[in-house]
Amino acid sequence: MQNHLEIVNSTAEDLTTIFEFYDMAVAHQKKVSDKHWQGFDVELIKNEISEQRQYKILVDGKVACVFLVTFNDPQIWEEKDKDLAIYLHRIVTHPNFRGHGFVNIITNWAKAYAKNQQLQFVRLDTWADNEKLFIHYTNCGFNHVGSIKIGADSGLPKHYEGIALNLFEIEV
C-alpha cells in the first residue's frame, strides 16, 4: 500500500516534536561519532518556524522527518554565499522511518523550490570525517565542492567550533 507523503512547514505546535527529533539525532550521533550537536536555543527554533524555514515530512499524517532551510550561509560558504542558493540543514529522520529515502525526497523538493525561486544551487554540509554521509549525499546527486575549517568565533552553534566540514551542492 502506498503511503501518503507531504512536505509542509512546521508550526509552533511542532516545537516539542522538533526538539524530540534533535534529541534522537544527538543520541544517534553519540553512538556513531565523537561529534554531536550541542543543543539549540528554543528562541532560534521559534524564529525559524515563524520565518517558515522549518519543514516536516508527514507520512500518513505522522512526522517522519524534519529539516531546516536557509537562504544564506556566509560562515560556512564564505564567498560562494553570494550565489543564489537554498541551504539544507538539520535533516533528522525518525528511526521508525529510516531507509525511506528522505534525503532524496528533500533534495528533489529543494531543486524544485530553487528552480521556482530562480536560485542557482541547493547546498548542504556535513562533518568532514563523516564518510557515510559523504557517500549518501553524493549518491543523492550532490557534488563535493570542497571543505572548510570553522573557527571558534564563527557565530554558528557550538558544535561547529574548530571542525572541518565537507561542502556539497547541486546546480539547478
Comparing 153 with 50, which gets the higher pLDDT?
Answer: 50
| Strand-pair category, 54-59 with 143-149 | unpaired
pLDDT at 106: 97
pLDDT recorded at residue 2: 60
pLDDT at residue number 161: 75
Kindly report the average pLDDT of the chain as a whole number: 91
Q: Tell me which residue has cell 528554543.
A: 42
SS3 142: coil
d(CA 131, CA 105): 21
| AA identity, residue 58 | L
For domain 5-171, give its CATH number from 1.20.1070.10, 3.30.10.20, 3.40.190.290, 3.40.630.30.
Answer: 3.40.630.30
